[in-house]
Amino acid sequence: MRAAFRMPAGGRIARGETLSFRFDGRIYTGHPGDTLASALLAHGVHLLGRSFKYHRPRGVLAAGSEEPNALVEIDRGGGRRTPNLRATEVALYDGLVARSQNRAPALSFDLGRINDFFAPLLSAGFYYKTFMWPRRAWRMLYEPLIRRAAGLGRAPEAPDPDRYANRFGHCDVLIVGGGPAGLMAALAASAGEARVVLVDEQAACGGSLLDETTATIAGQPAPVWLAETLATLNARATVRLLRCATAFGYYAENFIAIAERVTEHLADPDPGLPRERLWQMRAREVVLATGATERPLVFPGNDRPGVMLAGAARTYLNRYAVRPGRRAVIVTACDSAYQAASDLAAAGVEVALIADLRDTLPAVASDLAARGIRVAAGMTVLGTQGGLRVRSVAVAPARGGASVRLACDLVLMSGGWTPAIHLFSQSRGQVRFAADLGAFIPDRSVQRERSAGACRGLLDLAETLADGARAGAAAARAAGFPVPDLPRPAVAGAITPAGFHLGLCPRAAATRAFVDFQNDVTAKDIARAAQEGFHAIEHVKRYTTTGMATDQGKTSNLNALALVAAATGRAIPEVGLTSFRPPYTPVTFGTLAGLSRGALFDPVRTTPIHPWAEARGAVFEDVGAWRRARYFPRSDEDMHAAIARECRATREALGLLDASTLGKIEVVGPDAAEFLERFYVNALRKLGIGRCRYGLALGENGFVRDDGVIGRLAPDRFHVTTTTGGATATLDRMEDYLQTEWPDLHVWLTSTTEHWAVLAVQGPQARAALAPLITDIDLAPAAFPPMSVRVGHILGVATRLFRVSFTGELGFEINVPADYAGAVWEAVAARVAACGGAVYGTEAMHVLRAEKGYAIIGQETDGTVTPGDLGLDWTIGKGKTDFIGKRALALPDLRRPGRKQLVGLLTTDPALVLEEGAQIIAGPNPSPGSTALGHVTSAYPSATLGRSIALGLVAAGRQRLGARLYAQTPGGVAEVDLVSPVFFDPAGRRIDG
């Protein structure tokens, strides 16, 4: 297809190379340097999409990231389908595949268009009014139908196959925006040693200078000045230019988030490169040179394809050598549109009329009139006509009189320019309303930041350049780098964009006069919201959804404010301004996630035994960040059978558990014993060397926080274990007390969790199994009683051997350095097998300890449980005057009778296993509003006991032993009997083997 609207010369495109691409299945051509929008416009294609709510045909409004209409889906193949990309930002590459969105069955014939004829039903507050009733309609109608009819593209369904990178950056001066102000700021800031980063969202730096054909800077044509400036900056080693990079978030302490598009715009990217890269940039000083966005005028049919911002038309013409139409009508309240008219006329586009909303024409008007172009002051625009493309526009005198329809295929509009204060506002800077500009501009900075150029309302090119130089130099100096002032460059041939209009055009109807193009919000919607009592702009915004689309109202916010102000009889500053929030433009989830996906999302901790367990077909479970073997099924076993076998083997012969995840802390120093005495409830000061004690740690509020075993290895050295989940918190709490409350104590804490692997050998055969492997520790009961620790060797590997039991059986816990753990495990596992034992996992460990009534901190406790509630008052050292939590245990509520206490629960149906968390109630039919007596904390089938068992916390539980209560189950209420939590070997005889 011939690109009939491409000019024979000019533009910043590489004409020597022709690229071919598809849009909705049709093949078109373009050149490197084109965007998808410019290439389509070159073929006369203006219809690019359907609108969100009314499915109105929409074209290209703008030429940059503010574009609200021209949203497309780009399909890069292999699941790489991205919706809602602005065609004005999509750089063209060979083979690009793009599709229009939100249309069925075809862009030119869309059944959803019927929504437009029902527009009165879909007006402001439609969502709130319609979706109220009936409930069934949600499922039947609203969700399936309305959600499909209204929307923005299709989310991709396949996992994202691309790679994303993350980089932390630091610089002295960060400049956001590579237009005239940003370039001058970079020149000035980089005159010394400061490290300068310039970020620009476009593929080419230059901003408005890329569209400039007539202006001269410092005596040179603007394009020449631009090229020389970029060459100067590129030659400076201290300057980094980031192109295709959007600074989308401005956070505390000059922390700027930048999304850099690395390969998406390339037809054949280096596979080693990521698709996008997230920069987390910390800058000493920031210069915001984010420019300004042209505002549409609000009049009926201002959204028809062929209606465009005047500055955008100039961009397409000068930068891409594309005529956006054949016959243009220009309606404007700003002088910059005259520049567009002048350039279009010079390029052979017929300019039928420049209708100026202002009563007085600017000086530049006479230049155009002299070239035979009709210019009229005091005009307004009443509407456009046409189907899929504008056919004519109705203009009329603003103060009354007959309107006239002018045939055209292009309507250019300009309501003036809105400074882009998004990042400034995100930085928490205070803005003020500049009445002479009709816009908000930066007032007071909060961070080490300064705005320069158009984004602070300086729209004149000469002023913008000078302001950039001033800001760049000031930033470098503030960062500690002396730099000279740059001379102010002379500028000629540029028109200053003076003048603006806000709100509805005079005499124009509010119906179908679009304010927010992307969310289909009209002037009428906003007026209705005001009528219905929504006066605060944040309320109007939510009620009408104006400014809430993916463009965040870049082209619409000020017009919306002006309409609310007009409807409520207030000035714009009184109406206020909605908050700007990151991201400035949409950012992909991939960029935010970076490499934190899949296995890298939340790294898994494994023990040195993990490969062995994996090879044996263990089933794993996640315990905090750890991955632990839950059970080891044999080929013919299901989970229950495997756990039952592991439990039976341990009780009858021997079991081996990988307990390496236990938290371990080495507590060392002359005051170590005193410290532990204060930290734990137990009496530890006089703990003998080689002895262990069960330790219970409370918070100052008296509630149980952690438990473990404390072994004394020397007068000044303790081996302390914690729960798997509590390891970090316990070490942190210990550090806290040592550093802040008891800095006089000389104690050093070291986490040894990953240093020591732990092999728990439990069962009547434990001693027999280990005896051949250990030569220098006497395992005899008298020499090595329960709750003691010995240092020696197993298979020649240094070990700390504990005689402890979490099963109620004769037990040892072998601590060996992790690097040797694999070999030691293999040998011990062989001995266990030889003794008729089994390796068991965490599930059997849970069952075995529950049979003994041992509480697991975090399972039986929930942060409101005292030692007494668990029946562990015996652990509290008698005669201790103080320990963490002691004082709180004396508070009335912690001594209150009727507190929930740990009990055993036996269902009358022995096969029924209760659900953990099930409520315990007094009767089978609790009256509404009655309170549960407690809840189930653990429940298992017990192979040892041949029936189910459960632990629970029940109010005054120990006084209710023998009572029959009830538990909620999915199948109804079940009878349970309250019993002692020690189901097995209550006399504790088995501990000696």
Partner 1 sequence: MLLIPCPYCGPRPEIEFSYGGEAHLARPRDPAACDDAAWGDFLYARTNPKGIHAERWRHAHGCGRFFNALRHTVSDQFLITYRIGAPRPEIAA
Residues of span 99-128 touching partner 1 by CB under 8 A? none
| Cross-strand partners of 972 | 969
Distance in Å, CB of 892 to partner 1, minimum: 7
Q: Which of 63, 597, 604, 35 is nearest to 278 (CA)?
A: 597
- Are 790 and 813 spatial neighbours (Cβ–Cβ below 8 Å)? no
Distance in Å, CB of 429 to partner 1, minimum: 12
Nearer to partner 1, 735 or 826 (CB): 735
Does 268 contact partner 1 by CB under 8 A? no
The letter for the amino acid at 374 is R
Nearer to partner 1, 636 or 882 (CB): 882
And the tokens for 29? Answer: 């051509």
Q: Give the residue, chosen from 232, 511, 568, 701, that forms a contact with partner 1 under the rule CB under 8 A.
A: 701
Distance in Å, CB of 719 to partner 1, minimum: 21
The secondary structure of residue 369, as a DSSP letter, is: H
Distance in Å, CB of 737 to partner 1, minimum: 8
The letter for the amino acid at 172 is D
Nearer to partner 1, 359 or 735 (CB): 735
And the tokens for 962? Answer: 């023998």
Distance in Å, CB of 587 to partner 1, minimum: 16
Q: Give the residue, chosen from 4, 446, 604, 639, that forms a contact with partner 1 under the rule CB under 8 A.
A: 446
Q: Give the residue, chosen from 740, 782, 896, 928, that forms a contact with partner 1 under the rule CB under 8 A.
A: 740
Q: Give the residue, chosen from 372, 487, 743, 946, that forms a contact with partner 1 under the rule CB under 8 A.
A: 743
How do 964-969 and 972-979 pair as beta strands? antiparallel
If phi over 0 gives left and psi between -120 and 50 gives alpha, with beta otherwise, what is residue 944? alpha
Nearer to partner 1, 340 or 738 (CB): 738
Omega before 928 cis (within 30°)? no
The secondary structure of residue 203, as a DSSP letter, is: S
Distance in Å, CB of 741 to partner 1, minimum: 5
Q: Give the residue, chosen from 485, 638, 735, 754, that forms a contact with partner 1 under the rule CB under 8 A.
A: 735
Nearer to partner 1, 249 or 764 (CB): 249
Q: Give the residue, chosen from 143, 736, 826, 909, that forms a contact with partner 1 under the rule CB under 8 A.
A: 736
Distance in Å, CB of 884 to partner 1, minimum: 9
Q: Which stretch binds partner 1 (CB under 8 A): 195-203, 575-583, 588-596, 731-739?
A: 731-739
Distance in Å, CB of 717 to partner 1, minimum: 21
CA angle 368, 371, 348 (to 5 degrees): 95
Distance in Å, CB of 444 to partner 1, minimum: 13
The letter for the amino acid at 829 is A
Omega before 105 cis (within 30°)? yes
Q: Which of 903, 983, 973 is nearest to 943 (CA)?
A: 983
Nearer to partner 1, 214 or 280 (CB): 280
The secondary structure of residue 959, as a DSSP letter, is: G
Q: Give the residue, chosen from 532, 741, 826, 992, that forms a contact with partner 1 under the rule CB under 8 A.
A: 741
Does 927 contact partner 1 by CB under 8 A? no
Q: Which stretch binds partner 1 (CB under 8 A): 195-203, 252-260, 301-309, 948-956?
A: 252-260
Q: Which stretch binds partner 1 (CB under 8 A): 40-48, 510-518, 556-564, 739-747?
A: 739-747
Residues of span 282-301 touching partner 1 by CB under 8 A? 282
The site that binds partner 1 (CB under 8 A) totals a number of residues, namely: 25
Cα(713)–Cα(799) distance, integer angstroms: 12
Does 700 contact partner 1 by CB under 8 A? yes
Cα(968)–Cα(961) distance, integer angstroms: 19
Give every CB contact of residue 843 below 8 A, 6+ residues apart in sequence.
621, 630, 631, 639, 643, 646
- Are 496 and 535 spatial neighbours (Cβ–Cβ below 8 Å)? no
Q: Which of 982, 984, 986 is nearest to 945 (CA)?
A: 984
Does 732 contact partner 1 by CB under 8 A? yes
Residues of span 871-900 touching partner 1 by CB under 8 A? 881-882, 886-888, 890-892
Q: Among all chains, which residue has been given the structure tokens 């959804």?
A: 545
Q: Which of 667, 660, 663, 661 is nearest to 735 (CA)?
A: 667
Q: Annotate each residue in 404-433 with x if it binds partner 1 (CB under 8 A) or - if it does not, as one string.
A: ------------------------x-----
Nearer to partner 1, 881 or 925 (CB): 881
- Are 202 and 244 spatial neighbours (Cβ–Cβ below 8 Å)? yes
Q: Give the residue, chosen from 157, 253, 270, 602, that forms a contact with partner 1 under the rule CB under 8 A.
A: 253
Nearer to partner 1, 266 or 446 (CB): 446
Nearer to partner 1, 638 or 700 (CB): 700
Does 603 contact partner 1 by CB under 8 A? no
Nearer to partner 1, 892 or 962 (CB): 892
Cα(767)–Cα(810) distance, integer angstroms: 8
Distance in Å, CB of 735 to partner 1, minimum: 7
Distance in Å, CB of 475 to partner 1, minimum: 18
Q: Which of 180, 175, 188 is nearest to 258 (CA)?
A: 175
Q: Which stretch binds partner 1 (CB under 8 A): 351-359, 592-600, 730-738, 968-976?
A: 730-738
Distance in Å, CB of 284 to partner 1, minimum: 11
Q: Give the residue, chosen from 739, 897, 925, 972, that forms a contact with partner 1 under the rule CB under 8 A.
A: 739
Q: Give the residue, chosen from 15, 160, 169, 251, that forms a contact with partner 1 under the rule CB under 8 A.
A: 251
Helices (H), 356-460: 364-370, 422-426
And the tokens for 991? Answer: 């501990």
Measured CA distances, 904 to 679, 871, 959, 979 (Å):
30, 12, 13, 5
Q: Give the residue, chosen from 9, 231, 237, 252, that forms a contact with partner 1 under the rule CB under 8 A.
A: 252
Q: Which of 432, 436, 398 is nearest to 417 (CA)?
A: 436
Q: Which of 323, 315, 303, 395 is nearest to 357 (CA)?
A: 395
- Are 74 and 98 spatial neighbours (Cβ–Cβ below 8 Å)? yes
Nearer to partner 1, 129 or 887 (CB): 887
Distance in Å, CB of 247 to partner 1, minimum: 15
- Are 796 and 773 spatial neighbours (Cβ–Cβ below 8 Å)? no
Distance in Å, CB of 77 to partner 1, minimum: 37
Nearer to partner 1, 535 or 880 (CB): 880
Q: Which of 891, 902, 906 is nearest to 956 (CA)?
A: 902
Nearer to partner 1, 446 or 783 (CB): 446
Q: Among all chains, which residue has been given the structure tokens 């389908």?
A: 81
Give every CB contact of residue 506 below 8 A, 6+ residues apart in sequence.
357, 380, 398, 399
The secondary structure of residue 66, as a DSSP letter, is: T
Q: Which of 289, 333, 736, 373 is nearest to 498 (CA)?
A: 333
Q: Which stretch binds partner 1 (CB under 8 A): 126-134, 251-259, 538-546, 655-663?
A: 251-259
Q: Among all chains, which residue has been given the structure tokens 């006399």?
A: 987
Site of interaction with partner 1 (CB under 8 A): 251-253, 255, 280, 282, 428, 446, 700-701, 732, 735-736, 739-741, 743, 881-882, 886-888, 890-892
